[in-house]
Chains A and B, each alone.
Chain A
Amino acid sequence: AQSVSQHNHHVILSEAASLELGCNYSYGGTVNLFWYVQYPGQHLQLLLKYFSGDPLVKGIKGFEAEFIKSKFSFNLRKPSVQWSDTAEYFCAVIRYGGSQGNLIFGKGTKLSVKP
């Protein structure tokens, strides 16, 4: 079965540190990839998405993600985090050609940024 793994459950960083959150998926075919963010007490918001083309995708708030097909990975990065980036981050995958009913989420990574 298709699955999504996020390696870090909780990441703690100081402001201005660089961030990389890992995401790996298990499906071998073409996939569409998403990163969502959930700020404390709020609903999920889309950070960025990858469908095709340039594997380096830029999203909102200075985030970017790189799709590496050979590694089945879609890691999220930010060069310099801020306290306001404290949130939970979810990677999600949908098989190309699949319906929205097949969107699979990872278990999430909680990011805490110390001021």
Chain B
Amino acid sequence: EAQVTQNPRYLITVTGKKLTVTCSQNMNHEYMSWYRQDPGLGLRQIYYSMNVEVTDKGDVPEGYKVSRKEKRNFPLILESPSPNQTSLYFCASSRRASGGRETQYFGPGTRLLVL
């Protein structure tokens, strides 16, 4: 089954304790992205990757890191989490297509609480 998976689905942590949220897709997609969703703000893009070893900042990259060493995986790293990073995080992937004519497929989400 074609899917985007994220782990963990729920995470409670404390300020300053490094964490990684994994994202994996089995569709051989070139593009992968991370979003955060906050009430009243919709989805805001954190980072995206157009292919292996190619990443770029989205709208709200501060406090986050990513890496793309393999095509299928795109982990999100919070080196020193803070309470304002409490949010619902979504990973997404899509094929690379000309003109932006491609649909993004979303993972199930990771709900993070930073105390």
Residues of A within 8 A of B (CB): 6, 9, 32, 34, 36, 42-46, 49, 51, 90, 94-103, 105-108
Residues of B within 8 A of A (CB): 31, 33, 35, 40-45, 48, 50, 56, 58, 90, 92, 94, 96, 98-104, 106-109
Q: Which residues of B contact A95 (CB under 8 A)?
A: 100
Are the CB atoms of A43 and B106 closer together than 8 Å? yes
> CB < 8 Å: which of A103, A106, A107 contacts B104?
A103
Are the CB atoms of B33 and A44 closer together than 8 Å? no
Are the CB atoms of A90 and B58 closer together than 8 Å? no
> CB < 8 Å: which of B41, B100, B108 contacts A32?
B100
A105 and B104 CA atoms in complex are apart in Å by: 12
Which residue among B42, B50, B96, B106 has the maximum number of chain A CB atoms within 10 Å of its CB?
B42
Given contacts A9-B40, A32-B100, A107-B40, contact A101 B58 (CB under 8 A): yes
Are the CB atoms of B43 and A97 closer together than 8 Å? no
Are the CB atoms of B50 and A90 closer together than 8 Å? no
A112 and B33 CA atoms in complex are apart in Å by: 29
A106 and B99 CA atoms in complex are apart in Å by: 20
Q: Which residues of B contact A44 (CB under 8 A)?
A: 43, 90, 92, 106
A105 and B44 CA atoms in complex are apart in Å by: 7
Q: Which residues of B contact A6 (CB under 8 A)?
A: 42
- Chain B residue nearest to A101 (CB atoms) is B48
- Chain B residue nearest to A46 (CB atoms) is B103
Are the CB atoms of A43 and B107 closer together than 8 Å? yes
> CB < 8 Å: which of A98, A101, A102, A105 contacts B43?
A105
A44 and B37 CA atoms in complex are apart in Å by: 11
Are the CB atoms of B31 and A43 closer together than 8 Å? no
A104 and B88 CA atoms in complex are apart in Å by: 17
Are the CB atoms of A100 and B100 closer together than 8 Å? yes
Are the CB atoms of A101 and B40 closer together than 8 Å? no
Given contacts A9-B40, A107-B40, contact A101 B50 (CB under 8 A): yes
Distance between B98 CB and nearest chain A CB, rounded to angstroms: 8
